[in-house]
Amino acid sequence: MSGNKAVAYKSPGVVEVIDTPYPTFELKDGPGVNPANVGRKVPHGVILRTVTTNICGSDQHMVRGRTTAPADLVLGHEITGEVIETGPDVEFIKVGDIVSVPFNISCGRCRNCKEAKTGICLNVNPDRPGSAYGYVDMGGWVGGQAEYVLVPYADWNLLKFPDRDQALEKIMDLTMLSDILPTGFHGAVSAGVTVGSTVYVAGAGPVGLAAAAASQLLGAAVVIVGDMNEDRLAQARSFGCEAINVGAGDPADQIEQILGVREVDCGIDAVGFEARGHGGGAGAQEAPATVLNSLMDLTAAGGSLGIPGLYVTGDPGAADDAAKKGNLSLSLGTGWAKSLSFTTGQCPVMKYNRQLMMAILHDRIHIAKAVNAQAISLAEAPRGYAEFDAGAATKYVLDPNGYLSN
């Protein structure tokens, strides 16, 4: 093998399918690769032929130019694949296995990994804890929106599906195990969702919809989803959620109309740092602390906030100098006065992915339907990015090697 096609970030608003090197068991220099990782040997890794790889809202932040991502960075951290080559130190994963790849890259050896904190592995990113494929400032591990991709620490990282035929039959659901379903589930668990809970999910993008579906799986009595995009709100209603348009007015007023009270038991932020102010309609201005402050108001005293929405330390497109460094005007006094708990950061995917795999395989959750998954070819990725950026109520699943068309 010598060739490989991949989706790369070129400039704000522009992605292209490029020719890129076929992966080897050694990290090479390239866009975004941490110099300390160049030449790193990966005998514990495998090479996958990509079965599916999804466009994520986190990718979209980079493509909009809202991070310090360099040109030609190969994108993609939501990966499902077939093992076609194993490194000499791989013992249990075999050629031919169909596997889900957690978006967190973790070593399985450090203190954090041993404590199930795989989102903040200490050994894979020389700059700071935590890493991911195809993402800015995450160590430079090459992304998986490609025909082939390298996965390190394969025996530890990969979730093998128990039956190949069953996996391919349910692949549009199983592809969500790499990120958005565990991330949404983590948001719900962190928010304390349980049987009978009332839940407010801010954001009706794929992660928000996954958090809503996860809340239902956990037994929530009422799940309310807020957004400004009517198509995405309709998608939330399609699987039994209540939906409110936060561009039309105060979310608390609309929640009161549904529940009879102005608060919920559990709050989930699935928006992140590109949030816009409430009540301003389609022209609402960006106000990155809006969702967090709103959730502190809306969540009952003693409750919890799950915050899977992405916040960054470097945002060149932010509205003010403070936000460019990730500094937001939070009403922390409100959170303190109400004794609220907060959980932020990457979802530790391995904490949840096997259980969620079983829920999918046994038809306890239909996540592809909930997020309106649509398969497109690798060549159609630029169109998928553009439509997703324009607000399409769709989760785009790339099919680089034709598995979905066979």
Contact 269, 297 (CB under 8 A): no
What is the domain-level CATH number for residue 163? Answer: 3.90.180.10
CATH of the domain at 287: 3.40.50.720
Task: Give which of 76, 72, 74 is closest to 52, Cα–Cα.
Answer: 76
What's the mean pLDDT in 68-96? 97
Residue 328: per-residue pLDDT: 84
Q: Are residues 220 and 318 in the same domain?
A: yes
Are residues 228 and 160 located together in one domain of the fold? no
Q: How many domains is the chain partitioned into structurally? A: 2
pLDDT score at 317: 78
Count CA atoms closer than 13 A to 315's CA, side-chain side: 23
Domain of 24, in residue numbers: 5-179+349-405
Residues 6+ apart with CB under 8 A from 289: 275, 328, 329, 330
Residue ending a domain, among 343, 365, 389, is 343
Q: Does 197 lie in the same domain as 138?
A: no
Give DSSP secondary structure letters for 258-321.
Answer: HHSSS-EEEEEE-S-TT-B-TTSGGGPPB-TTHHHHHHHHHEEEEEEEE--S---S--TT-SSH
Which of 324, 343, 362 lies at the terminal end of a domain, its last residue?
343
Phi and psi at 127, nearest 5°, equal -85, -35
User: Do 185 and 175 reside in the same domain of the chain?
Assistant: no
Q: Is the pLDDT of residue 6 over 80?
A: yes
**Cα separation, 269 vs 202, whole angstroms:** 5
Same domain? 38 vs 70:
yes
* Chain segment 307-359, per-residue pLDDT in tens: 999 888 777 877 778 878 878 888 999 999 999 999 999 999 999 999 999 99
- Using the predicted structure, report yes or no on whether residue 21 has a pLDDT greater than 90: yes
Clarify whether residues 170 and 61 are in a common domain.
yes
pLDDT at 1 over 60: no
* Claim to verify: residue 48 and residue 166 sit in the same structural domain: yes
pLDDT in tens, 170-187: 999 999 999 999 999 999
- Residues 52-69 have pLDDT tens digits of 999 998 899 899 988 889
C-alpha span between 17 and 160 (Å, rounded): 29
Instruction: Give the pLDDT band (50/70/90) at residue 2.
Output: low
Same domain, 206 and 293: yes
Tell me, what's the pLDDT at 284?
A: 67
Number of H helices, E strands in the chain: 15, 16
324 and 397 fall within a common domain: no
| CA distances in angstroms from 246 to 162, 192, 310, listed in the order given | 43, 23, 20
pLDDT digits (tens, 9 = 90+) for 31-46: 999 999 999 999 999 9
Contact 134, 77 (CB under 8 A): yes
Beta strands in 152-259 (DSSP E): 159-160, 198-202, 222-227, 242-245
197 & 266 share domain? yes
Contact in structure between 404 and 34 (CB atoms under 8 Å):
no
136 & 267 share domain: no
Residue 68, pLDDT score: 86
- 3-state class (DSSP) for residue 399: strand
Comparing C-alpha atoms, which of 400, 406, 342 is closest to residue 7?
A: 400
Residue 74 has pLDDT above 70, yes or no: yes
pTM (2 d.p.): 0.95
Highest mean pLDDT: which range of 131-140, 219-228, 305-314 = 219-228
Domain C-terminal end among 295, 314, 343: 343
Residues 355 and 314 in one domain: no
